[in-house]
Amino acid sequence: MISEILKVENLTVRFEVKRGGGWTKKSYLYAVDDVSFTVKKGKTLAIVGESGSGKTTAALAVARLVNAQSGSVLLDGQDILQKQSEDLRKIRQKVQFIFQDPYSSLNPRKRAEAIVREPLDSLSSKSTDEKAQIVDELFEAVGLRPEQKRLFPHQFSGGQRQRIGIARALATQPKLIICDEPVSALDVAVQAQILNLLHKLQKEFELTYLFISHDLGVVQHMSDSIAVMYMGKVVEFADRLSLFKNPQHPYTRALLSAVPTVNRTKRAEQKRILIPGDPPDPVNLPSGCRFANRCPIAKPVCNISEPKLESIANGHRTACHFVKATKSALHSLG
């Protein structure tokens, strides 16, 4: 039985927003609002959604790179949010990040070997020789040559820089690696190389990924399960096959309708579902469903009552008052 290595429960992250003078009431932007999900050991959970959905903020909160106001983040049964000082330092060895932009995430003044060794220098007590051996092994694992250790970031291509970032993330043998849009800044051909590398490393080292992306084509290739976020909320959670074959939430169906395909038959049958209007004000959110003002099947109850994320099948959960009506209503559009 595959155990859950990460369990996030009721995670909330808010940011204070200053409006007007000093006497005005404080306002808050709820970037992540009461979000829960799990990631199984050796598997990949993808969090998808448009810009501003809260997916990256949720990942940053899991890694303790932004402060959460409430909730719990259990990694191997330990609540990361409750750790402080030395305990937090130890837990950071278990959670590492692969950042979006390989051009800005590497220190331009450090050589490649020093960049990869950096987590070991700050988080481990290994000897100099042990660190050097680990760096050598990581360079080989990510497909970089030994002589490239002495080069600076500007001497590498974008894909090679991301390989350095991946090697750095692996240095402390983490339990969880958070991939924040790891290929979005790369050319399409290089994207495929990096995704295949991540797959290879996952099998070789039994890695667990929390994969953040807005690209559903990439997500379909990488994920085992998927959480769809909208305006700080998870609106659908399912395994990859269930979500792509039978999406239930109107927002998920609209996102999937925009995924391009090279299959001519599927392309001819595919109907693009447009999402009208704009998202609600994130500082002044509606009391009901946050997607109601853009939803093609919304009814008065949607503006009053917020739907809960409830199970509709084995492991498939959706936050919609009218799940059964979704499919037929959306097919009638256009």
What is the pLDDT at residue 2? Answer: 53
What is the pLDDT at residue 20? Answer: 63
- What residue ranges define each of the domains in the chain, with the CATH number in brackets? 4-94+174-331 (3.40.50.300), 109-172 (no CATH)
Tokens at 197, concatenated: 């590398």
Bigger pLDDT: 94 or 20? 94
CB of 110 closer than 8 Å to CB of 149: no
For the segment 196-252, what is each residue's pLDDT rounded down to a tens digit? 999 999 999 999 999 999 888 899 989 999 999 999 999 999 999 999 999 999 999
Q: Write the DSSP string, 283-318.
A: TS--SS-TTGGG-TT--GGGGTSPPP-EEEETTEEE
Share of the chain above pLDDT 70, in %: 91
* pLDDT band, very low/low/confident/very high, at 324 (cuts 50, 70, 90): low
Q: Distance (Å, rounded) from C-alpha 173 to C-alpha 164? A: 15
What is the pLDDT at residue 238? Answer: 96
Q: What is the pTM of this model?
A: 0.90
Q: Distance (Å, rounded) from C-alpha 171 to C-alpha 206? A: 14
